[in-house]
Structure 1
Amino acid sequence: MDVLINVFVALHIIGIASLLGGFLTQMKAMGAGTARFTPAMLHGALTMLITGIALVGLNQADGQTVNNVKIGVKLAVLVVILALVYVKRDEERVDKGLFGAVGGLTMVNIFIATLWV
Structure 2
Amino acid sequence: MDVLINVFVGLHIVGIAALLGGFLSQLTAIRGDGARMTPGMLHGALTMLVTGAALVGLNQADDQTVNNVKIGVKLALLIVILGLVYVKRDEEKVEPAVFGAVGALTTVNIFIAVLWT
Q: TM-score, normalised by structure 1?
A: 0.99
Partner of 1:32, secondary structure, is coil
Report runs of 4+ in structure 1 exceeding 6 Å deviation: none
Q: CA deviation at 1:30?
A: 1.3
Q: Equivalent residue for 1:57?
A: 57
Residue identity opposite 1:78 in structure 2: L
> 1:85 aligned to 2:85?
yes
Provide the identity percentage.
Answer: 76
Does the CA contact (< 8 Å) of 1:33 and 1:94 recur in 2? no
> 2 CA distance for matches of 1:20 and 1:29?
15
Partner of 1:91, secondary structure, is coil
Q: Equivalent residue for 2:103?
A: 103
Residues 52-98 of structure 1: CA distance to partner in whole angstroms, max 9, x if unpaired? Answer: 00000000000000000000000000000000000010000000000
Residue identity opposite 1:40 in structure 2: G
Q: Size of the alignment, in residue pairs?
A: 117
Partner of 2:30, secondary structure, is helix
> 1 CA distance for matches of 2:67 and 2:60?
10
Unaligned stretches of 5+ residues in structure 2: none
Unaligned stretches of 5+ residues in structure 1: none
Quote the RMSD (CA, aligned, Å).
0.6
> 1 CA distance for matches of 2:100 and 2:66?
30
Q: TM-score, normalised by structure 2?
A: 0.99
Residues 16-72 of structure 1: CA distance to partner in whole angstroms, max 9, x if unpaired? Answer: 000000000000001225100000000000000000000000000000000000000
